[in-house]
């Protein structure tokens, strides 16, 4: 809680690690320099235990505005993210337990989304029908070693607003889907095969 003192009414760029200690390096999933420079890297770090603390979560929701969250350790539950409606930059490393993006249901203005190792039925919550279209704000999507059964929502959304970047990385054990992802409209599209098992 001490790390949040003095952050009242401030914008919070949240980092979550196993022990709550800050990271010296931050991965950059984006190809374009402009997007990398606009990443909202963490200015406050919490441990995975602190994220489960109701008092800390209440403070974040009531007294701050969380605009980004970088999760560097696997969590059992990501539902707490649904409290942060003003989230613009969400990066999840080690999302092995993610089977739904329901925690994104209130994030109507995200601009950068990077997720690793998720198994998803669809991208419905990331591309809701009621999301306001802002053609001046870029949207970047990066999925690494993820599986997505249905791209319908992403395809339909990008007919109205093209993504700025779409980065897809697959494991050697996953089927090649580069043609399927081409249905999603984007200014920059990169499809990579991971050299090592992820």
Supply the pLDDT for residue 2.
63
Using alpha carbons, list the distances in angstroms from residue 75 to 1, 67, 123, 140, 148.
20, 20, 20, 23, 20
> Using an 8 Å Cβ cutoff, are 78 and 100 in contact?
no
The two structure tokens encoding residue 126: 């990331």
Q: How many CA atoms lie within 13 A of 122 on its CB side?
A: 12
pTM above threshold 0.75: yes
pLDDT-derived band at 118 (thresholds 50, 70, 90) equals: very high
Q: What stretch of H or E contains 17?
A: strand 11-17
The string of DSSP codes covering 143-163 is: EES-EES--HHHHHHHHHS-E
Does residue 75 surpass a pLDDT of 60? yes
Share of residues in the chain with pLDDT > 70 (%):
94
The CB density around residue 161, as the number of other CB atoms within 10 Å, is 16
Residue among 75, 72, 11, 67 at smallest CA distance from 39 = 67
Does residue 181 surpass a pLDDT of 60? yes
* pLDDT, mean over the chain: 92
Supply the pLDDT for residue 131.
85
Ordered domains of the chain (ranges, CATH): 2-193 (3.80.10)
Supply the pLDDT for residue 172.
84
Gap between the Cα atoms of 95 and 83, Å rounded: 19
Does residue 197 surpass a pLDDT of 60? no
Does residue 198 surpass a pLDDT of 50? no
pLDDT-derived band at 136 (thresholds 50, 70, 90) equals: confident
pLDDT-derived band at 134 (thresholds 50, 70, 90) equals: confident
Strand, coil or helix: what is 169? strand
Supply the pLDDT for residue 168.
97
Share of residues in the chain with pLDDT > 90 (%):
83
**More confidently predicted of 135 and 198:** 135
Does residue 89 surpass a pLDDT of 80? yes
Q: What pLDDT digit, counting tens, does each position of 13-27 carry?
A: 999 999 999 998 999
């Amino acid at each position: 809680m001490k790390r949040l003192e003095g952050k009242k009414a401030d914008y919070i760029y949240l980092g979550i690690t196993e022990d709550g200690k800050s990271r010296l390096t931050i991965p950059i999933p984006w190809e374009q320099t402009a997007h990398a420079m606009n990443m909202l890297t963490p200015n406050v770090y919490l441990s995975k235990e602190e994220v489960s603390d109701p008092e800390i979560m209440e403070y974040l929701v009531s007294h701050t505005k969380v605009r980004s969250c970088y999760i560097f350790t696997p969590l059992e539950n990501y539902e707490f993210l649904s409290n942060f409606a003003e989230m613009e930059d969400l990066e999840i490393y080690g999302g092995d337990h993610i089977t739904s993006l329901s925690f994104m249901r209130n994030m109507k203005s995200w601009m950068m989304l990077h997720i690793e190792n998720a198994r998803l039925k669809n991208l419905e919550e990331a591309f809701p029908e009621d999301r306001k279209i802002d053609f001046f704000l870029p949207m970047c999507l990066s999925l690494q070693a993820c599986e997505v059964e249905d791209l319908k929502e992403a395809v339909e959304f990008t007919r109205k607003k093209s993504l700025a970047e779409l980065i897809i990385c697959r494991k050697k054990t996953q089927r090649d889907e580069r043609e399927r992802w081409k249905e999603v409209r984007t200014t920059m599209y990169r499809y990579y095969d991971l050299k090592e098992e992820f």
